[in-house]
Amino acid sequence: MTSRLAVAKTYKLYLGGAFVRSESGRTDPIEGANVPRGSRKDVRDAVKAARAAFGGWSGKTAYNRGQVLYRFAEALESRSAEFGEDVFEAIDLLVHYAGWTDKLPVVLGGINPVAAPYLSFSSPEPTGVVAVLAPDGPPIKGLIQEIAPALAAGSTVVAVISRDHPLKPLDLGEVAGVSDIPGGVLNLLSGRLDELLKPLCGHRDVNAIVDATGDPSLAAQIDELAAETVKRVSRPTTDDPLSRLEALVELKTAWHPVGS
C-alpha cells in the first residue's frame, strides 16, 4: 500500500449557514493551522444574515426551538471525541437551555397586580441580534455558555470565537450545519478583537452585546459603542441560567381595562 498525504483542512468562517473564506483573504497562523482573519465586511455580512434569520427563528414555537437546540446537542455528542475535555459540559448546557425555551413565558412573564380596574400582563420577547464576544477559554464550553441563552430566548447570534484557541469553535460550525439550526441564526467569526470590536459592537443592527472576554480594558470602548444606539450590554458573572436568559429578553407589558 502506498503512503499518502492527508488532505489539509481549510478553516473557514461560518456565516449565514455557509462556510466562507474571510473577505480579506487574510489568515493568522494559530495552533498549527491558518485561521481566517475576519474583516469589517465579514462582520457586516454576519449581522445581515443574523437580522434576516431573526424573524423566522423568533417566530418558531418555543417547543420547536428547544427541539433544534436538543438536536444541536445530539450532533455535538456524536463528534465529542474531536472536541476536547470541555465538550461534555457544553453538551449538557445545550440540553439544559433546550429545556428552558418553553419555560420562559411562565417564569419571566405573567399577570401583574395593579390597584386599578385594569388587567396588566407581561411576556418575554427576544432581544434581536446579539453580538457575543466569547472568552478565550475553555473554547467550546465558553462559547456555548454564551450563545445558548440567546438562541433559547429566540435571538440570533454573531459570535467572535476564542482568539487563542479558534479551531474547535470553527469546527462547531460544521456541527451547527447538520443540526437543523437555520442559516443565519448562528454566525461564527474568527479574528482579532482590535479589528472586529468596533464594526460589531457599533453596528446599528445589533441589539445587545454579551461581553465574556473578561478584559476590563475593553469595557469602556464596548460601552461607548453600545451607547450610540442604546444596546444592552451584559457581562455574565454567574452560571445561573435564569440570570443569563433574563439579560437577553425584553419584557412586553400590555394593559387592558376590565369591569364597567
Residue 135 or 105, more confident: 135
- pLDDT recorded at residue 157: 98
How far are the Cα atoms of 2, 98, 134, 178, 209 from residue 238, in angstroms, in the given order? 55, 19, 15, 31, 16
| pLDDT (0 to 100) of residue 221 | 97
Tens of pLDDT along 114-167?
877 888 878 889 999 999 999 999 999 999 999 999 999 999 999 999 999 999
Burial class for 137, CB neighbours closer than 10 Å (0-12, 13-18, 19+) = middle
Q: Whole-angstrom distance between the N-terminal and C-terminal Cα of the chain? A: 90
Adjacent-strand bridge partners of 211: 133
Predicted local distance difference test score (pLDDT) of residue 255? 81
Residue 96 is inside which H or E element, if any? Answer: helix 87-100
Q: What is the rounded distance in angstroms from the CA atom of residue 13 to the CA atom of residue 22?
A: 7
What confidence score (pLDDT) does residue 160 get? 98
- 259, pLDDT greater than 70: no
What is the reported pLDDT for 108? 87
pTM of the model: 0.93
Cβ of 48: how many Cβ atoms within 10 Å?
A: 18
Instruction: Check residue 1 and give its pLDDT.
Output: 62
Model confidence at 260: pLDDT above 60:
no
pLDDT tier at 63, thresholds 50, 70, 90: very high
- Cis peptide leading into 149, omega within 30 of 0? no
Name the strand (E) or helix (H) holding 41: helix 40-59
- Residue 104, pLDDT > 80, answer yes
Question: What ranges make up the beta strands (E) of the chain?
Answer: 13-15, 18-20, 27-30, 33-36, 110-112, 118-126, 129-133, 156-160, 186-189, 208-211, 232-234, 249-257
Q: Indicate the average pLDDT of the chain.
A: 94
- pLDDT confidence of residue 251: 87
d(CA 214, CA 8): 33
Pairwise CA distance, residues 146 & 135, whole Å:
9
Q: In this structure, are residues 9 and 32 in contact, taking their beta carbons and an 8 Å threshold?
A: no
Query: What is the CB neighbour count within 10 angstroms for residue 234?
Result: 18
Model pLDDT, residue 5: 83
Residue scoring higher pLDDT (67 or 121): 67
pLDDT (tens digit per residue) in 70-89: 999 999 999 999 998 899 99
At 181-218, the pLDDT tens digits run 999 999 999 999 999 999 999 999 999 999 999 999 99
**What would be the CATH architecture of the domain defined by 13-20+37-257?**
3-Layer(aba) Sandwich (3.40)
Boundaries of every domain in the chain: 13-20+37-257
State yes or no: pLDDT of 233 exceeds 90: yes
Q: Residue 49, Cβ neighbours under 10 Å: how many?
A: 22
